[in-house]
Structures are given as structure tokens and as C-alpha cells.
Chains A and B, each alone.
Chain A
Amino acid sequence: MLRTACRKTLLALAAGLLALPALAQNGPRAEVIHWWTSGGESAAVKTLADAYRAQGGQWVDMAVALGEQARAVAINRIVGGNPPTAAQFNTSKQFLDIVDQGLLNNLDDVAARDGWDKFLPETVLNVIKVKGHYYAVPVNIHMPAWIWYSKAAFKKAGIAAEPKTMDELFAALDKLKAAGLVPLAHGCQPWQDNTVFTAVLTNVGGRELYLKVLRDRDRNAIQSDAFKNVLLTFKRLQGYVDKGSPGRNWNDATAMLITGKAGVQIMGDWAKGEFSLAGQVAGKDYGCIAGFGANAPYIIQGDVLVFPKTDKPDALKAQKLLASVVTTPAAQVAFNSKKGSIPIRTDVDASKMDVCAQQGITIMKDKARHLGNGEIYLTPDQNGALADILTAYWNRNMPVEKVQKDIASALKN
């Protein structure tokens, strides 16, 4: 018994010793530029690297802090003729210009072989498919507009049940205020103001209005009373933030929930990383609301990898292998458990993921609830112009009609 075990170990060791150098020399080498640099993020990208290595590849990590910087590095290297094997972008129109310039390899054969059409959400497919070709492999799905709440703060304010509607949310915020707590933990930075707006647009405006405004850029919808109501509700939430909110980072706002100083935060599911770092458990110490009602939309945001143009057979091999590894269920669960996002496919074993992620995966099974975030429908430029107007409205007193007019003109071109 012991002897066989010993022999097996020895054999495995020998095989390992023989195999390792061979792998290191011959495996397809993938250099990947990404901006997954925070604690949870680098743990997540490590699982991806491990999955790729397990398939015999060599992973060369090129982490660049901050999305803008990482994308600038990737674009400069692509234009300069020294492209990486793969580069991270958001699930958005960010890489459309590079596709138009013919600087990316398409992944049509990988997509056909692995059957992407069968398991990827349509919203994601619409982004990665340009003129009938697949140009990016999705890595994860983040939902940017979760409503988080601290159970300790709710208890202190005497709020018995989780809010089920927008009105109940406002009632809860009033109670938190009365209890001397900060009702809404928020950092007034343009993108965070935008996150709150997204949550209001889906929960108050609804799916139809959301698509009309952000996807169709419909002037009438922007000028409608329904959209005016969305803007007014958005502005009403501003009355529940504290004085220290301008410039605050999102994780400092999450910390206010963790310490029980504040009640509610509207933020993407990356906030879970902060809660788990503080040893808090979803469903026990804090709650998560994806949206109000059984049909509330689930907003899709996320990251993709694109594969710059190359003719080198080795690089092509690496690109195809990586594109295939990323979408496998095991790699998906491993990566997204660390990242705080959910897998790009719903046919995975989610039993080991937290309750919020499980809730997200369940919602994703209903196609009618999928919605892209602003970046998916708007160019970076339009999206930025919209963010400027919303953040100005959040911070200043101005008539809502002017905001509607400004948004209409910003989304015109």
C-alpha cells in the first residue's frame, strides 16, 4: 500500500520534472495586458493564468494600474507594431475603433467550436460581434447598480424588512436619517453619480425607457415626463448623502456600511470584495438588492479580452487557446468567485458562490431581464458627456428641464 503510494508519487514527480521544462519551452506564450491590480482582482487573474497554464500555455502577466492607462498602453503597442497576445477592455464600444482599423484578429472558429451563441447572453454577443465576426472573449459580468445595505444599521434604525419598492427605499432612508445615521453612503465622483442614476433609471423608469434613452437616444423619450420623474428621483436621493461625500472613493463609502455608520450604498458587485475583506458575509451582515420587483432588469457590464492582429503561428495558437480557456465553466467560476462578478454563462455550478452571486445567476437565466449598461450602447465620448451632465445635476441646483435638454443635445452626436 505504502509502497504503491510512494511509487505513484515518484512517478508523478518524474513526469512533472520531465514535463515542466518541456511546457515552459514549447507552450503557447500569451502576454496579457490588464488592469486587474487590486487584491481581489489579482487573485482572480491568477486563477485565469493557472487555468491557461493547466492547458499547457505560458502566461506572461502585464498588469497596468487603472483602466485608462492599461488601454492606452495596449492601443499604443498595437499601433506601434508590438502588440500583446491579448488585452483587456470593458464590455463596451471601447474597442470598436480598433476593430474598424482592422487591428484585431477575429475568433470566429473558437466561437463556432465552443458554441458561444448557445451560452452567451445576447447583450454581450451584440458587443463582441461586429459585422458578423467575433472580436472579443467576455470574461465576466458585473452588475454596476446593486443596492447594498448594512443589516446592523437597518436594525438600529428599526427597519424590519428589506425594501421592496422605491417608496420603501425612501421610507428606509428617512428612518436611517431619523436614527442619526448617514442614509446613503456615496462618493460624489462622476462615475458614482452615474451608478446611482443607472439604478434609478432601471427601477423607476423601467426597461423600455432605459433602452429608448440609452440605446435609441430617442429625443421624445428624453423629453418625456417619465424620464423627468427618473431625474427628479435621482436628485431626491442626493438629499440623503452626508457632507463629506464629495470626492470620496467608493470603497470608503462601502466602509461606512461595514462599520454600520451608513445604511445604503448603490454600487457595483465589486463592493463585495470590501465586505469580505472585513470578514462580513452576504445575507448575514449585509444584504443585496439587484432591483425592485420580479422583473427588475439586471444590468450587464464587464470585461473582455481582445486579440490584436498577428500572423505568427505561435501567437495565433496562444490566442485561440486563451479564448477557449476563458469561457470554460471551471475557469469562469474560479475567476468570478474572486472577482465578485458572475460567470458569463448560467450553466455552471454556483453552489460555492455567495448568495448575491447566486441571485444574479438566477436572474440572468431570464433573458427578458438583461440590459446593457450605458457603455454598451453609447460611445465612450457620449457616455462621458452624459456623465458630465448627470454629475452637474447631482451637485448643483438646476431646473430638470435644462437637464433633459442638455442630455438630448449631448446624445445627439
Chain B
Amino acid sequence: MALAKVWSAKASWKRLVPWGALLPMALTVLVGYLGTALWSLRVSLSSARTFPKDDFVGLAQYERLFDNDRWLHSLQNLAIYGVLFIVACMAIGFLLAVFIDQKVRGEGVLRTIFLYPYAMSFVATGLVWQWVLNPESGLQQAVRQMGFSEFTFDWIIDQDMVIYTVVIATVWQASGLVMALMLAGLRGIDEEIWKAARLDGIPTWRVYASIVLPMLGPTVATVFVLLFTGVVKVFDSVVSMTQGGPGTASDVPAKFIMDHLFGRANIALASAGSIVLLLMVVLLVVPLLVLRSRSGDAKGHG
């Protein structure tokens, strides 16, 4: 009897321990993430300026937001940037991973070189990119001095092309990370599959395209989620390279929000903008996560 009591007390204690360990994390999520998101939502429905206010103005801030040319333009920029950035990073990252997977010599060195851009702060590298792309002092000038006097590469000062310069610079930065993740995935592919494919005489590119890539599904999904959240919050690269310019041509939502949060003392409008961004993430990423966990369950039970 006494023994059983001790036993059950021990068991319930054992059950409590994991919950206790989870508590700090749960509190962080509830207060730090959910709480502040709800707070932003509340502020976005008020007429707050420098300080939060208790009144309620309905969706007036959202109406104002979507009536604002600069905001709409920044959303358009985000769409262009997002598609190009994710596609280019995935493609280049995957090719780099395949390249290194060929057991090339100096793999360690190459891996470090490819991953290095990601380890550096974009505030610093963005400034270097700005110099390289500046037509008066950078690449254009250098090529012209080599004798090609007609060479023109002035995208960074071109209203319509400037957003592509941000794509180029950030792809340079993030491809290495994609490579590292993809390479880890490739190394997880069973050698037997390669042996079987070789026996059947299937060309290598075909194995990568039709067998390996589908098997890398979970890795690709992880990379996509990482890149997508990077896209939504893109800020430092734009600020350090173009400051949103020329004019507001390379503006992105995060910069719009920061400008209104501090410089323009309009926290309600800024909060409305951040809620819109949050909704975008939720709408695009959550279905993906649900899909993944479903397929995971199916496998688990099968």
C-alpha cells in the first residue's frame, strides 16, 4: 500500500517534470509572441499616435493603409522580391549542394566560402554592395575603365530596376545557407538508391531530378519556410543598400512600418501594417505546416 503510494507519487512527479521544463517556453510564447501580437492588433484598431490609446476606430487604420500608394508599392515590391529571391536561392543553393556532393576536393573550404556571406551582418555587406553597384564608383566605372566605355549597369539608381539589385545581393547572402541545408539532406539519401540507379543505367541528372529531389521534400519545405519569413521581414538589406530609394522605389513593408513606428509617431498605422504582414505569414505558412504534419502522421501510422 505504502509502496504503491510512493510509486504513484513518483509517477505523477515524473509526469510533471516535462511540463515544468516546458513552462518557461510556454510563457515566452504566450506573453512574448501571442500577447504582443494581440496587443499590436488592439493598437491597430485605435487612433494611437506616439502613445497607445484606448479608443476604438474600427478598421480606419487599415483603410488608410490600403489607400496609401507607398504601402501598396511596398507590397508589390515584396511580391517581386519574394518570388525571385526564393526561387533563385532554392535553385542556386540546390546546385551548389549537388556540386559539393560530387565529393569534390577541398569540400570543407568551399563549404565555408559558400556559407560565409550568411555569417556576416548585412548592414556591413549591404554597404559594400551599395559601393559595387553605384554607377559612379563601382562595377560600371571599373568595366568602363577597362575599355568598354558603353557598359551600363546602373540598376541601383533606376526606379524600375532597383528592387532587383536587392534580390541579387540577398541571394548572394542566403544561397549558402540553402546549400548547407540541402547538402545535409543529400547526405541523408541512402547510398543503396544510388547503387540501384547506377545498375539501371539512369543518368545522374535524372536521379537528382526524379528521385533525390522528391525525397528531399521535408528539407525543401523547411528551406521555403525559412526563406519566406526572411522575405516578409526584409529590412536591413534595403536600408543599408538603398534606404528605400531612389525616392521610395525599393520600399518594403517592414521599412514602412519602422518609419511610422518611430519617425512619424503613428503606432496605430504601423501596427496595422505589421498585422497585415502577420496575416500573410499565417495564410501562407500555416497550411504548409499542417500539410507536412498530416503527411508525417500518415507515415507514422502506416
Interface residues of A (CB under 8 A from B): 68-69, 71-72, 75, 79, 94, 97-98, 101, 188-190, 193, 242-247, 379-381, 383-385, 388-389, 391-392, 394-396, 406, 409, 413
16 A-B pairs whose Cβ atoms sit less than 8 Å apart in the complex: A69-B262, A97-B50, A188-B246, A243-B136, A243-B154, A246-B157, A246-B245, A246-B246, A247-B130, A381-B266, A381-B269, A388-B248, A391-B245, A391-B248, A394-B247, A395-B246
Nearest residue, chain B, Cβ from A93: B265
B-chain residues with CB within 8 Å of residue A395 when the two chains form the complex: 159, 245-249
Given A97-B49, A97-B51, A413-B64, A380 contacting B247 (CB threshold 8 A): no
Contact bitstring B74-92, A, C-beta under 8 A = 1, else 0? 0000000000000000000
Given A75-B50, A381-B266, A406-B69, A190 contacting B247 (CB threshold 8 A): yes
Given A98-B50, A381-B49, A406-B69, A189 contacting B248 (CB threshold 8 A): no
Contact A392 B248 (CB under 8 A): yes
Contact A388 B70 (CB under 8 A): yes
Please name 15 further chain A to chain B contacts, defined as beta carbons within 8 Å, in addition to the given A244-B135, A247-B157, A389-B69, sorted by A numbering.
A79-B51, A97-B50, A101-B51, A189-B245, A190-B248, A242-B136, A243-B136, A243-B157, A384-B260, A384-B263, A385-B68, A391-B245, A395-B159, A395-B245, A395-B246
Interface residues of B (CB under 8 A from A): 49-51, 64, 67-70, 130, 134-137, 154, 156-157, 159, 242-243, 245-249, 259-260, 262-266, 269
Contact A247 B245 (CB under 8 A): yes
**C-alpha gap A413/B65 in the complex (Å):** 13
Contact B247 A392 (CB under 8 A): yes
Query: Lowest 3 A-B CB distances belong to which pairs?
Result: A395-B247, A97-B50, A246-B246
Nearest residue, chain A, Cβ from B261: A72
Contact B135 A243 (CB under 8 A): yes
CB distance from A172 to the nearest CB of B (A): 24
A-chain residues with CB within 8 Å of residue B69 when the two chains form the complex: 388-389, 392, 406
Contact A381 B247 (CB under 8 A): no
**C-alpha gap A409/B247 in the complex (Å):** 19
**C-alpha gap A245/B246 in the complex (Å):** 9
**C-alpha gap A97/B50 in the complex (Å):** 6
**C-alpha gap A383/B263 in the complex (Å):** 10
Given A68-B262, A384-B263, A247 contacting B243 (CB threshold 8 A): yes
B-chain residues with CB within 8 Å of residue A68 when the two chains form the complex: 262-263
Contact A380 B135 (CB under 8 A): no
Nearest residue, chain A, Cβ from B251: A388
CB distance from A143 to the nearest CB of B (A): 22
**C-alpha gap A394/B159 in the complex (Å):** 11
**C-alpha gap A72/B264 in the complex (Å):** 11
**C-alpha gap A392/B67 in the complex (Å):** 16
Contact B265 A94 (CB under 8 A): yes
CB within 8 A of B247: which of A244, A379, A391? Answer: A391
Contact A380 B264 (CB under 8 A): yes
CB distance from B125 to the nearest CB of A (A): 16
A-chain residues with CB within 8 Å of residue B64 when the two chains form the complex: 413
B-chain residues with CB within 8 Å of residue A244 when the two chains form the complex: 134-137, 157
B-chain residues with CB within 8 Å of residue A381 when the two chains form the complex: 49, 260, 264-266, 269
Contact A380 B263 (CB under 8 A): yes
B-chain residues with CB within 8 Å of residue A384 when the two chains form the complex: 259-260, 263-264
CB distance from B262 to the nearest CB of A (A): 5
Contact B156 A246 (CB under 8 A): yes
CB distance from B132 to the nearest CB of A (A): 13
**C-alpha gap A245/B262 in the complex (Å):** 27
Nearest residue, chain A, Cβ from B162: A246
